[in-house]
Amino acid sequence: MLADTAPRPISLPLHAAGAAGASHGAAEVPAPILPGEHFAAALVCFVIGGVGLIAVAGDLAAGMFFLPRVIAVVHLFTLGWIMTSIFGALCQFLPVAIGRGLRWPGAAHASFAAHVTGVALFVGGLATGHPAAVHAGACGLAIGFGVFAVNLAVTLATVRDRGLTWWALAGVAVFLVVTPAYGVVLALNLRGGGLIGGSRFAVVAAHAHVAIAGVVLLTMVGVAHRLLPMFLLSHGARDHAAWTAIALLAGGAAVLAIPGGAGVRVELAGALIAGGVVAFLVQAVTFFHHRRRRSIDPGMQLAAAGLIGLAVAVLVAPIALSRGLRDLHLLTAYVTILLGAITLFVAGHYYKIVPFLVWYHRFGPLVGTRKVPTVAELYAAPLARLDGALLAIGWLGVAIGIFAGRGDLVRAAAVAVAAGAVLEAIIIARVARRRVA
| 43 to 341, 352, 371: CA distances (angstroms) | 17, 15, 31
DSSP sequence for 191-242: TSSTTTGGGHHHHHHHHHHHHIIIIIIHHHHHHHHHHHHHHHTB-S---HHH
CATH number at residue 182: 1.20.210.10
Segments forming the whole domain that contains residue 137: 36-365+373-432
Residue 384 CB coordination number (10 Å): 25
Does residue 13 have a cis bond before it (omega within 30 degrees)? yes
Q: Which residues on adjacent β-strands are paired with residue 234?
A: 291
Question: Which pLDDT belongs to residue 19?
Answer: 33
pTM for the complete prediction?
Answer: 0.88
- Segment 42-51, tens digit of pLDDT: 999 999 999 9
Question: Which pLDDT belongs to residue 32?
Answer: 85
Question: Which pLDDT belongs to residue 27?
Answer: 42
Q: What is the CA radius of gyration of the chain?
A: 21
Sign of the CA dihedral with 23 first, then 97, 293, and 396 last: positive
Q: Is residue 152 part of a domain?
A: yes
Q: Is residue 29 part of a domain?
A: no
Identify the three-state secondary structure at position 291: strand
Q: Is residue 8 part of a domain?
A: no
Residue type, 193: G
Q: Is residue 17 part of a domain?
A: no
Number of structural domains (the chain) is: 1
DSSP sequence for 364-426: GGGTTTS----SGGGS-HHHHHHHHHHHHHHHHHHHHHHHHT-HHHHHHHHHHHHHHHHHHHH
Q: Is residue 5 part of a domain?
A: no
Q: Which residues of the chain have pLDDT under 50?
A: 1-27, 190-198
Q: Is residue 249 part of a domain?
A: yes
Question: Which pLDDT belongs to residue 209?
Answer: 85
Q: Is residue 290 part of a domain?
A: yes
Which of these, 197, 178, 320, lies nearest to 255 by C-alpha position?
A: 178
Q: Is residue 250 part of a domain?
A: yes
Question: Which pLDDT belongs to residue 13?
Answer: 35
Question: Which pLDDT belongs to residue 5?
Answer: 38
Q: Please, which residues have CB within 8 angstroms of residue 436's CB and are 6 or more apart in sequence?
A: 362, 363, 366, 372
Question: Which pLDDT belongs to residue 28?
Answer: 57
Residue 261 CB coordination number (10 Å): 9
